[in-house]
Structure formats: C-alpha cells, structure tokens
Amino acid sequence: MGAMDREWFHESRDARMNGVRRSPSGRIPEWSLDDALRQASAPPPWRPGPAPKKRRRSPRVRLRFGTVGALALLVFLYLTPTLFDRYVLPAALPYLPGAEVPPRGVEAGDVPLGAPPPAPASNAYTLMESPVEDQEWVAYDPCRPVHYVVRPDNAPAGSEGLVQKAVAEVSAATGLQFVDDGTTTEAPTEDRDLYQPELYGKRWVPVLITWTGPTEIPGLEGDVAGLGGSDYAQTPGHPLVYVGGQVQLDAPDAAETLQYPDGRAYLKATIMHELGHVVGLDHVDDPHQLMYADNIGQISFGDGDRAGLALLGTGPCVPGL
Ligand SMILES: [Zn+2]
C-alpha cells in the first residue's frame, strides 16, 4: 500500500526549521516499513500464478523508493473456472467464507464523470506497479464516484477541513469525482474487507481515511506520518480497478505538525501525498514533486505529480465490476 511517511513529514518540518535536510543516516529507512507492509499485506496470492510483472527498478532503487501503495493485495474476482484457478484460489482461500462481492455496476455511468485537466509536459512521476503482467497500471473507475469516509476519532484540533481540501486537490487533478460520505466507525486495517454491506450498503467499500497512530497501526512507528494505498478488484476479462483505498494518518504526529505556523499547509500536503498513493502514484526521485518520499518543503502538487494524476484519471470504465 502506498505509504505516507512520517519520515516524509519530518523531513519537511526539519527543512523548514533548520533550512537543511537531515542527514540520510539520521532517517529510518522507509523501505523497511514498506517491506514490513508487503509481508503483512501481500500474501503470495498471484505469485503462484502468472509471473509477476518485472520490476522496473533495480532492487536497490526499489528499496529506496519502494512501493508504499498497496495496503492489502487481496484480489476479489467474480468466479470463473480459469481465473478462479489463476488468481482467486491462492489469493482468497483463507477469505472465501466472507469473500462476497457487491452487485455489479453500482453507480457506474456510461462515460467518465469528469476529466482531468491537460497534463503538464513532465514525466516526473511513477505509477504504482501493477500486480499483473498484462496491465501496465491500475486506476479507479472514472465512470463512477469515488466515495470516501473519515473516522474522526483522534483527529487533532486544527485539522478541520483538511481532508476535504486535500481530496478536492486530487479530484481536480484527476477528474475523479469524490463523494464525501461523512464519518465512519470502521478501524484501519491491513487486510480490509472490500465488501461490508452492513456498514456501507451493497457496494464496494469507500476510501477509508483514519486518524490513527503506531499503537493501532505499527507501520506508523518511527518517522512515518501516514500510509496510503488502494486494494483492487477485477471481473474476468476486464482490467483491475482500484477499490477500497485507505489513508492512515499518524494523529500524534499531525498534532505536532499543527504547532508550526504553516502546520495546516504541511498536514494538507501530507494527506495529498497519501491520496496520491491511493489513486495510484508511487514515489518519485524528484524532490520538487509532492510524491518525493522525503518532503523538503513542497506543499502542492508539482508538474510531475499532476501529469501522473491526470493519467490516473483516464483509467478504464468497468461497469461489470
Ligand atoms: Zn509516500
């Protein structure tokens, strides 16, 4: 899953407070957290099947800028014999008793509900790696709204409205239509059930944004300000589509951020960074982008971020899902 990094936040604050970046040796390597997440959340579902897509980055680079996006790589599929054997069985075996899916096409329109603005001429972005070989990247279905809910517990004073503002930025940059479904009692987790009709009705779960911390989410220990990413689902013969994203914000860390004069801007940027992971952006090796793993003062999307977000707003519509 995408990671929001407390490291990321601290870098930004340090840069502001000291005018210089902290020494690399002083950081907690983000990749260790990423790897922990991968292990916890990426059971070997599809590995026994088709060969995973080749890594685009060398191991060293990948460790440094490891994917933080996929919270739980559990693929739900409508069952057909071939695909069932190919993906679902290894992936969902432990989950089969509860592995129900919503009716197809809930709220799915015939055309995208919005369109991204013209993309800046920049390639300073990286898309989250697709888990399958025959699909280069994964996105939300632009023909249906992206619902989101917030668990308000632990939200620090002074953070009011920041989630909505960050969502608005991502919506504007992607053309994806987000719908604020209000608050929820659902807790963050690394293996979220993507269909919870008792909480959300008969549809895929909304994006879940939580104010949490290392006690509840060990991945937030150390210099990690947050985590972000999405799960995905697929109906046979159609592309994978993101559903059920999560943003997990380190509330104690956020409260500390808000003590500084520009605290709200930095916290909003942190949420935007995590939402960037949710819609499919990975980290990029360019400090002028918000998707750089260590923020050094960036508080808005850069050209590369915007180019990537515009692309991610043009994913396929999959009404059969
Ligand atoms: Zn990140």
pLDDT single digits (tens) 37-62: 332 333 222 222 233 333 332 222 22
> Quick one: tokens of 141?
């279905």
> Quick one: tokens of 289?
């982008």
Residues near ion ligand 1 (Cβ under 5 Å)? 3, 68
Phi and psi torsions of 7, nearest 5° = -55, -45
Domains of the chain: residue spans and CATH: 3-312 (3.40.390.10)
CA of 91 to the centre of ligand 1 (A): 26
Per-residue CA distances from 178 to 168, 269, 319 (Å) = 8, 18, 18
pTM of the model: 0.73
What span, in angstroms and rounded, lies between the C-alpha atoms of 204 and 242?
10
Rounded mean pLDDT, 196-216? 97
CB atoms under 10 Å from CB of 158, counted, come to: 15
Per-residue CA distances from 161 to 152, 167, 244, 265, 301 (Å) = 11, 10, 22, 12, 19
209 SS3 class: strand
What Rg do the C-alpha atoms of the chain give, in angstroms? 18
CA of 304 to the centre of ligand 1 (A): 15
CA of 89 to the centre of ligand 1 (A): 31
Residue among 311, 306, 195, 290 nearest 243 (CA): 195
CA of 125 to the centre of ligand 1 (A): 12
> Quick one: tokens of 146?
């992206």
CA of 289 to the centre of ligand 1 (A): 11
Predicted local confidence at residue 79, as pLDDT: 31
> Quick one: tokens of 217?
């989410």
CA of 152 to the centre of ligand 1 (A): 22
Looking at residue 182, the DSSP 8-state letter turns out to be: E
> Are the C-beta atoms of residues 318 and 241 closer than 8 Å to each other?
yes
CA of 70 to the centre of ligand 1 (A): 11
> Are the C-beta atoms of residues 229 and 277 closer than 8 Å to each other?
yes
What span, in angstroms and rounded, lies between the C-alpha atoms of 127 and 105?
26
Please name the residues in contact with 140: beta carbons below 8 A apart, sequence gap of 6 or more: 146, 176, 230, 241, 242, 243, 279, 280, 312, 315
Predicted local confidence at residue 99, as pLDDT: 58
Predicted local confidence at residue 98, as pLDDT: 54
CA of 276 to the centre of ligand 1 (A): 8
Task: Identify the band that residue 211 occupies on the pLDDT scale cut at 50, 70 and 90.
Answer: very high
Phi and psi torsions of 180, nearest 5° = -80, 110
Predicted local confidence at residue 256, as pLDDT: 95
